[in-house]
Structure 1
Amino acid sequence: MAVAAAVNGGYLPSKFRRFTQPTVSQIRPTPPPLFISTNPNDVNPIHLRDLYTACNHSCHRFPKLNSEGRVEPVDIDKLRKALLHSYVVASVFTKPESVPDLAPENVSGSGLTGIGGDWIGKVVPVTPGNGELVGFGRAVSDSGLTAAIYDVMVIPSLRRRGIGRKIVQRILSILVNRDIYDIAALCSDQQKPFFGACGFGDDVLVSTTMMYTRSASTHSEDEQMVKCAGRQLLLVPSLRGNLKI
């Protein structure tokens, strides 16, 4: 009786608190109806470029930023080549009305409204033809030994709903089914918790990813200094000592 009175009065003893329901802020929103395609032909490169822009995602290690901190748009021709040569592509589509950031005038384009309202459009399954591209990820591989996952992204308004994890899981399942287990993920420090939740961890060989950031040079390291040249960091000869003309 004392416990019942405490609960009704809004107070719960500490030994009973572990049975409480999670708060609203702890409940992750469920994802909308999704269709995940691994067919590269389902991806429109222009729509994919727009997704890169919406996610502020760059393919460059040294991206150019504008005054608002936004990265430059992805080169559409290079993006087409990247799609063509990717070993695995995973694209996520959902109904346009499920995307909060989508402009209202773009929502009613299914052509399935009529007698009875838009209920037909709601029950029709999501396809790349009637859906909006809201997530993407890809992997490159030598087709036999190793693979690496790149460019995992989800439109900001639908993040934290498990969509990114579905993308990684789909890519991993395809790679593993093809007997490829040496799989890496190129990610930032901010992305490490996400990939950790997807099953990734530190390399058992304690290796460190190093990116090529300079042009070839015949000068020794102690005779060089770093210069910025666009996206690249170039090593140029030092000006130490006497200059001979």
Structure 2
Amino acid sequence: MSRIANIAAYRFVELDDREALKTSLHDAAQARGLMGTVLLAPEGINLFLAGPEAGVRGFLDWLRSDARFAPIEAKWSWSDSVPFQRLRVRLKREIVTIRTPDLDLAATPAPYLPADELKRWYDEGRDFLILDTRNEWEVQEGTFENAIDPHIASFGEFPRYLESIESLKDKTIVTFCTGGIRCEKAAPLMKRAGFGHVYQLEGGILKYFEQVGGAHWRGNCVVFDDRGALRPDLSPARGKT
């Protein structure tokens, strides 16, 4: 049986044709035999899709033919079966919900820290803090060594959580999440709040697994499909394989 390709990808870009885009995205994914979820909002796109490798690559080629999505990068993993029950394209207010409408991502950008660089920081014993921006139940499944758990039930609680760590504003802090999208908002929000040395792990945990493996990681990583969670080698930890 052919292996199933799974991708997670996002891009923050202004979208003013979401209704038409919803239809074309659904048709393009369906025509290539893909299942999963695509979220569209005024601020951009967030997608999780699975299917035959040729279909996934064909879909990405089609998507990147639109200049707005040309830079989009995907995190890849593999399974023996499709971990989604259907294909959905949904319109949302935000592609990742934080409920801070005045947050200007371009005004307070935070630099990316590549996966291999984070590993090097750990290996060298560099003085930094690492902040998990995911929900508490995700953190319980697995996280980086010595990571700070904000104990939040949803990402919408993150802005209030920052009020409790104001004493860390002068520290070097690396934020991380599953695929990077939550940190695209968390890190700029921290910069705006006065945290002076904030980084975001480029590509999130999934890209770290893909490029580095499980160094300095403990446990598994929750994913939002039938696989449930992934091991550092990107194999399913439970659920469908």
Q: TM-score with structure 1 length normalisation?
A: 0.22
- Structure (1 or 2) with the greater strand fraction: 2
**Larger of the two Rg values belongs to structure:** 1
